[in-house]
A = this chain, B = another copy of it.
Amino acid sequence: MLKYTHVEDLTTADVERLRSLYEPLTRAVRDLIDATIRTEADAEAVTAATAQIDAATASLRSSQLDGAFGVRYVTDGDPMPWGNAVIGVRNPSAPPLVIRKVSDGPASTDRYVTSDFYLGAAFEGPPGHVHGGVSAMLLDHVLGDAVSTPGVHRLTGTITVRYRRLTPLGRLHAEARITHTDGFKTYATGHIADADGITVEAEGVFIEPRWARA
């Protein structure tokens, strides 16, 4: 069973304060990741930057969580999946995706989720293009978001990803929606697109874990 952390003593204002402290740090590290891949600075500059980064890391580690970030809930607020590999606002490796929920009708299949995002050098596979695995990762998350509702955690059972053509690095769009449900199984479909249309599509079945069905 998964441990979701309930942080009782944080108000929504506390969460906003933490977000405004950590977002600039995360953005700075995300920018550094890109610079690390693309730098052509001389050896002296690279070595000096390495030492500077080690010093920043040591300072941040002076007080830290024992393990990974987890998923926290506050009494009056949203969940805080801030360490999440795809959407985490404290995870510099995450693009991060900001996912918007949209509804064009009353049925569960009328709801869909959508995200506009940018993928740079850190997400490269074939030269100049998004790593196929990155597309699979993002689609897993976006489809999983489409099937989830507050308090109902659904985990991927199976996902199939079809690559129509290569996805260029740059500005991209993803969306996903539920196609149907069958007991504790929910089926979803979605895609990634660039300005010229769909590049990758996915379909998946998501399962409400046994321990959450009570």
**When the two chains form their complex, are residues A121 and B68 in contact, meaning their CB atoms are under 8 A apart?**
yes
Closest residue of B by beta carbon distance from A23? B50
Minimum C-beta distance from A191 to chain B (A): 14
- Interface core residue of A42, A56, A69 (most chain B CB under 10 Å): A56
Q: Which of B3, B48, B84, B133 contacts A137 (CB 8 A)?
A: B133
Stretch at the interface among A8-16, A109-117, A157-165, A179-187: A157-165
Interface size class, chain A: 35 or more
Q: Which of B62, B88, B158 contacts A41 (CB 8 A)?
A: B62
Closest residue of B by beta carbon distance from A70? B127
**When the two chains form their complex, are residues A90 and B136 in contact, meaning their CB atoms are under 8 A apart?**
no
Residues of B within 8 A of A136 (CB): 133, 136-137, 140, 159, 161
Q: Please report A residues at the B interface, Cβ cutoff 8 Å.
A: 2-5, 21-22, 24-26, 28-29, 31-33, 35-43, 45-50, 52-57, 59-65, 67-71, 82-86, 88, 90-93, 120-129, 131-134, 136-141, 144, 153, 155-163, 166, 169
